[in-house]
Amino acid sequence: MSYTSNNTATNTLSGLTRGIRQTGRLSSSITTGDTPNFDQTLNGQNPQIGILGGFVDINNEVLRMGYKAEDGLTNAANNMDDMNVRFYERALKGTSAATHNSNSNVRNYDMRARSWPTGTTVWEGPTNSIPVVLAEDMVNEVFERARIKRRATLNLSQSSVCS
């Protein structure tokens, strides 16, 4: 998401433009009868789900996908880099299980266009920050995003220790 102005007095963003979702592609087909937990290595771009997982859309079927965090976060980070994924659940959010051919697009469902009520918190990323997906919000069934710094510099001689 980008914007043209940020009024910090009123906490209002103007000129909002939605970003483009990156698209991964299935390396092999998924049949209607395939049951979770099955693994694949995606081709194309990383669909940018969080290290703990997220929801993806493949041909109008919503699935829960992740990087096998149950094997440890270090392995999950490597799987994220290599786009080695596991599909944990199928036919979510009112969709039905379907057959998906190899090279079908895999898109981040949580980053779809959505309407938000006035007053919704927007996490603006400062320079050198990266988006981070939080654990699943079980009430709203989403993997929310926040931002953290890519690195922290300690300034022990200043009153502001981290910058």
* pLDDT reading at 162 higher than 50: no
What's the rounded mean pLDDT across residues 118-131? Answer: 57
Neighbours of 144 (CB within 10 A): 15
Q: Which of 24-33, 44-53, 96-105 has the lowest mean pLDDT?
A: 44-53
* Sequence ranges of the domains in the chain: 20-149
Instruction: Give me the mean pLDDT over the 66-84 stretch.
Output: 88
Over residues 43-61, the pLDDT tens digits come to 998 888 877 888 999 999 9
The dihedral over CA atoms of 137, 89, 94, 115, expressed in degrees to the nearest 10, equals 40
Cα(1)–Cα(8) distance, integer angstroms: 18
